[in-house]
Amino acid sequence: MKAGSAAKLIVEALLQRFLPLSRRRIETAQAQDGQYLRPSDPAYEQVLDSLAMIARHTPVPLLEALLRWRESESPKGANDASTFQRKLAVECIFCSACIRFVECCPQEGLTEKLWSGLENFVFDWLINADRVVSQVEYPSLVDLRGLLLDLVAQLLGALSRIRFSSVTERFFMELNTRRIDTSVSRSETLSIINGMRYLKLGVKTEGGLNASASFVAKANPLIRPAQKRKSEFYHALCNMLSNILAPLADGGKSQWPPSGVEPALSLWYEAVGRIRLQLIPWMDKQNKHIAVGYPLVTLLLCLGDPQIFHNDLSPHMEQLYKLLRDKNHRFMALDCLHRVLRFYLSVHAANQAPNRIWDYLDSRNITSILP
């Protein structure tokens, strides 16, 4: 049997299992306002696992089959709540399947046209979600639409592992085309920024770390102009960077710092250090910036130059202690203290004198916040 024929048979066999399960999910989602799409369905999860395995070996026929399924199941014609509910359910299922697909598909497994099509799907939803399903006109679909946009963001994150430069270039291009401030462009900009929160930074190779450092430098919240409601824009970028950087800081010694990439690491330290120094006086100007600024500044301190980390750890912790007394920022400060101390213990403590470690842990009875 020819390889092409075998691949077609494998995909068809998988679709025979996928079709009834996906249809059941769509129908149940319509009956239960989308809640059925959230809990795990063991049979459906098993099909997605099989899909991921096939994506490694026969990606093109599999993705083409998923695209045909999406086209056939998407409702046509009427514009009412039931129609949009079905459309959102179909898109959720398609997106969850694509996430598994992209996580396992080799970069060379798809043509540029197919990869670009997935990117376009992601950005089209981030930009046009409110045009397709208005939150104002269809308030009952807000949760289902939110679920879809979260899956879209996860798919963007999966794509970034393979197509980091393409995804990030598209991100900055979309921001730059919306510099003229209108309520529509502002809403689209915030949706695009929020959709980047699962972006995966490459740090294991020199090329990957260079690209990541360049992205972080360009995403510096305070260097991007905003005409109106600046804080909303800056806060969105701060939250985006915090979400992107957190996995690096929380991964422990095995994740950070990367080894064998010293020239790129210097550029990285320079980029994160510059942002941190700009954010600190910005936060000091107005209290409304503290809630989004301190989590990001904490991450930038952790992932910055080790010598600067050791020099600035104590004063940074002192600022967080002060914020513990503020009921509006108490939980944020506690999260930051927990993160920076966990990072210190997992990444740096092995090279520190025991008495210095205890200086940090004994201060302000800090051991009470550690797990």
Query: In the predicted model, is pLDDT for residue 368 greater than 50?
Result: no
Query: In the predicted model, is pLDDT for residue 50 greater than 70?
Result: yes
84 vs 312, higher pLDDT: 312
Three-state secondary structure string covering the chain: CCHHHHHHHHHHHHHHHHHHHHHHHHHHHHHCCCHHHCCCCHHHHHHHHHHHHHHCCCHHHHHHHHHHHHHHHCCCCCCCHHHHHHHHHHHHHHHHHHHHHHHHCCHHHCCHHHHHHHHHHHHHHHHHHHHHCCCCCCHHHHHHHHHHHHHHHHHHHHHHHHCHHHHHHHHHHHHHCCCCCCHHHHHHHHHHHHCCCCCCCCCCCHHHHHHHHHHHHHCCHHHCCCCCCHHHHHHHHHHHHHHHHHHHHHCCCCCCCCCCCHHHHHHHHHHHHHHHHHHHHHHHHCHHHHHHHHHHHHHHHHCCCHHHHHHHHHHHHHHHHHHHCCCCCHHHHHHHHHHHHHHHHHHHHHHCCHHHHHHHHHHHHHHHHCC
Average pLDDT over residues 161-189: 90
Instruction: Output the average pLDDT for the chain.
Output: 85
Rounded percentage of the chain residues whose pLDDT exceeds 90: 46
* Token pair for 212: 């990541």
CB distance 233 to 226 below 8 Å = yes
Query: In the predicted model, is pLDDT for residue 354 greater than 80?
Result: no
- Residues 6 or more apart in contact with residue 347 via CB below 8 angstroms: 252, 253, 256, 257, 302
Residue 7's pLDDT is what? 64
Residue 6's pLDDT is what? 65
pLDDT-wise least confident of 139-143, 157-161, 281-285: 139-143
User: Which of 46-50, 53-57, 295-299 has the highest average model confidence (pLDDT)?
Assistant: 295-299
Average pLDDT over residues 214-231: 84
Angle between helices 183-194 and 230-250 (to 10 degrees): 10
Residue 370's pLDDT is what? 45
- Split at pLDDT 50, 70, 90, the class of 31 is low
Residue 303's pLDDT is what? 96
CB < 8 Å & 24+ apart, contacts of 138-144: 138/81, 138/84, 140/33, 140/81, 141/34, 141/81, 141/84, 141/85, 141/88, 143/33, 143/34, 144/29, 144/33, 144/34, 144/37, 144/85, 144/88, 144/89, 144/92
- The whole-model pTM stands at 0.88
- Split at pLDDT 50, 70, 90, the class of 253 is low
Query: In the predicted model, is pLDDT for residue 201 greater than 50?
Result: yes
Average pLDDT over residues 133-147: 82
Residue 1's pLDDT is what? 42
Residue 350's pLDDT is what? 64
